[in-house]
Each structure stands twice: as structure tokens, then as C-alpha cells.
Amino acid sequence: MTPPNADPLPVTDFGTTLDGRTAQLVTMDNGTGSVAQVSTYGATLVSWQHEGTELVLGFDEVAQYEAADNPYFGCTTGRVCNRIAEGKFLLNDREYRLAINNEPNHLHGGPGGLHRVHWKLLAYGRHRNGDAWARFGYLSLEGEEGYPGTLELEVEYTLTIDHVLRIEYQATTDIPTPVNLTHHSYWNLAGEGTILDHELQIKASSYTPTDDTLIPTGEIASVDGTALDFRQSTPVGARIEQLVETPAYGYDHNYVLDRTGLFPLQHVATVREPRSGRRLEVWTEDIGLQLYTGNWLGEVTGRGGTVYPQYGGLCLEAQHFPNAINEPTFPSIVLEPGEVYEKRTEYRVFGD
């Protein structure tokens, strides 16, 4: 994490939540055409404008982020992102029961997960090279949403002068607990319309098939010959109709990334908007990537009164595998006392 810096950034009020607390908004301007805004509510990326084009879906004020129909726009999700089967798991011979908010499962940390809490703005500033950054912290107490242990969390956003949004996570615990954090922005590189014409490449030869409630079966299956094969750059809408009648209702799948070499941070996906040529690269230290195509957006009214249609944005969520706490064949997501959970994900933008 970045040390404290004396060069401040603009911090403004983002409205008052139902519990009477004021959310803050930090504006990070890289001075070379990109401006990002992050909020203390949910440690959320509210906006990222690049050369005047808005790249992420979002709302105008914190009250909209509190509303029940907020589909996790731009937030930090956890303690465990994605789904946990039937909201329960066994850890060290004890069963824990979590909040059910995606019947019959637990989703994205529960209804009061990290996306619904006030994070503390710990520090913010600008490096001498122009990179802007802001760090948020939150103490998740024992029993919050049913999870064991007290978890101390930090999330830091950095917007670099060469248009990279870097997100770094850190967490420690006092007793063993599952942790799997991710970022949940909906990307639309055109700034409007749907993402069906966006060209997508994911460096993954396999994925984790699911049951009818989108819980992985434990199998690792090849993408070859399926609508999930994005090993070559392909329009998102080219094969999506094959999935509309499935429980996912479009793309909502975890990819097993083809990681190579020794470097932890690797390029795993690329999205290209064909009209502008604008490109987004995803780099991560994680082993999985959830592709979600906004299947349930359902005419959500967002920023500036814009109505976001179905498929109005796509999510590329770096993660460990869904329901890993209940699937012994998947890599573990249990954080032990004395360990430090650390990971980094970067979203890199190219083009005007």
C-alpha cells in the first residue's frame, strides 16, 4: 500500500445515507485525460471518464447506491464475492450460516456486505509523477453477515498518468475465515447503448460449470465448442442467444484463467469497442474471472437519468472460484491468523 502523501485531492460530499452519515467522494484526475471518482460508501468506483467518455455505469448520489435495485455498481464485494451454496459452510468442524440474498444462496457477502457499508478514507494524494490514489479501510466485526472472525480490510485505488486503474486489496483476521474480494464495475467503452458489439478476449481454456442456482458443480470443463469460448476476440453478442434460456440468462460464468510463468500480475482479458477502437485490458493476480453481461439490468435509471438497458454493461470480476469454501477440489479461500490477504487487479485503458 502507498505511504501517506501531503499532496491532497478534492474530497466532496456524496450525499447522506439513511443512517444519517455523509458519504465522501474523492476525485482522482491523472492530468492526461482520465478522471475517476471513488466513494467511501462501499469503497465504490462511481465514475471513470476517459477523454470525455464515461466508462462505467453508476449513479449520481449515494441514496441511489443504497437502493435495493443497485446491481452492485462499481463496488467492493465481499467478504466473499459471488455465491456460497445455501449460505452455509463448515470450517474447523463448525458450521456457519450466512444471510441468504440470492435464494437459495448467499451472494457477494450478503445484503449488508462490504458494498453496503461506510469505509473510512484513510489517506489520499498524488505521487510526484502525477499518479493519484485513495485508500479506504473497514473493520468487519465477528459475526457480520454470519462470517467468523474480525476482518481488517484496506482497498486502495490508484489512477496512473498512463490510464491504469490499479486496485489493491489487503486483509487480516483474528481467526480463520473465508475471504474472496473483487471489484464489480459494469464497463461500457462506448459510454452508451449495450455492450453486445464489444469484442472480448479472455485467456481461459476452461470454466466452472454450475447447477441451476449458479453454484459450481466442482467440475472444470473446457470452453472448446461452447458459447463461452472467448480465447479469440469475439463480439459479446455473437453467441449470447445460446445462453438466454439458461439459468444464467446470458453470460454469468467463472473462467479458470490460463496463467503462465512466474509473474503474479498477468494480462487475462481484453475488451475492444469497435467504433472508437477504445480498449480495456484486465490484469490480475487472481486465478478466476467472472464474466457478467448485465443480464438483469432491466432498465435501471442511472447517472444523469440515463436508462441502462439489459446488456448495458459487462463485469470482469477477478476472483477465486465461487463456492470454494464448500468445494474441496477448488483452491482454498480461507485466511488464517498471521497471514495477509493481498491481491492486485488493474484495468488499463488505451485509445481516445
With a pLDDT cut of 90, the percent of the chain lying above it is 95
What is the longest distance spanned by two Cα atoms in the chain?
A: 55
Q: What is the pLDDT at residue 352?
A: 82
| Length of the chain in terms of residues written | 352
The mean per-residue pLDDT over the stretch 36-63 comes to 98
Q: What is the pLDDT at residue 1?
A: 61
Q: Residue 268 carries which DSSP code?
A: E
The mean per-residue pLDDT over the stretch 259-266 comes to 91
| Multiple choice CATH, 11-195+277-350, 3.40.50.720, 2.70.98.10, 3.30.420.40, 2.40.50.140 | 2.70.98.10
Please check the confidence at residue 261 and state whether its pLDDT lies above 90: no
Please check the confidence at residue 6 and state whether its pLDDT lies above 80: no
- Name the burial class of residue 260, with classes exposed (0-12), middle (13-18) and buried (19+) by CB atoms within 10 angstroms of its CB: exposed
Q: What is the pLDDT at residue 7?
A: 63
Confidence of residue 298 (pLDDT cuts 50, 70, 90): confident
Q: What is the pLDDT at residue 72?
A: 98
- Name the burial class of residue 94, with classes exposed (0-12), middle (13-18) and buried (19+) by CB atoms within 10 angstroms of its CB: exposed
Tell me how far apart the alpha carbons of residues 264 and 217 are, in angstroms, rounded to a whole number. 27
Q: What is the pLDDT at residue 300?
A: 87
The chain-wide mean pLDDT, for the chain, equals 96
Q: What is the pLDDT at residue 2?
A: 56
Whether the CB-CB separation of 17 and 64 falls below 8 Å is answered with: no
Name the nearest CA neighbour of 253 among 293, 218, 200.
293
The mean per-residue pLDDT over the stretch 312-333 comes to 98
Question: What are the tens digits of pLDDT across the range 85-102?
Answer: 999 999 999 999 999 999
Q: Which residues pair with 34 in a beta bridge?
A: 50
Tell me how far apart the alpha carbons of residues 261 and 270 are, in angstroms, rounded to a whole number. 19
Please check the confidence at residue 4 and state whether its pLDDT lies above 70: no
What backbone phi and psi angles, to 5 degrees, belong to 63? Answer: -60, -35
Question: What are the tens digits of pLDDT across the range 123-167?
Answer: 999 998 999 999 999 999 999 999 999 999 999 999 999 999 999
Tell me how far apart the alpha carbons of residues 338 and 196 are, in angstroms, rounded to a whole number. 45
Q: Residue 62 carries which DSSP code?
A: H
Q: Residue 218 carries which DSSP code?
A: S
Please check the confidence at residue 285 and state whether its pLDDT lies above 90: yes
Which whole-number Å values give the CA distances from 258 to 79, 101, 108, 201, 346, in the listed order?
25, 32, 24, 12, 17
Tell me how far apart the alpha carbons of residues 250 and 244 are, in angstroms, rounded to a whole number. 5
Tell me how far apart the alpha carbons of residues 242 and 66 are, in angstroms, rounded to a whole number. 34
pTM of the model: 0.96
CB atoms within 10 A of CB 295: 16
CB atoms within 10 A of CB 252: 20
Query: Cell digits for 327?
Result: 468445494
Please check the confidence at residue 310 and state whether its pLDDT lies above 70: yes
Tell me how far apart the alpha carbons of residues 54 and 47 are, in angstroms, rounded to a whole number. 7
Q: Residue 205 carries which DSSP code?
A: E
Please check the confidence at residue 343 and state whether its pLDDT lies above 70: yes
Who's near 72: CB < 8 A, 6+ residues apart? 108, 115, 184
Active site residues: 184, 317
* Ranges of each domain in the chain: 11-195+277-350
Tell me how far apart the alpha carbons of residues 163 and 351 are, in angstroms, rounded to a whole number. 10
Whether the CB-CB separation of 161 and 130 falls below 8 Å is answered with: yes
Whether the CB-CB separation of 278 and 351 falls below 8 Å is answered with: yes
Q: Which residues pair with 221 in a beta bridge?
A: 207
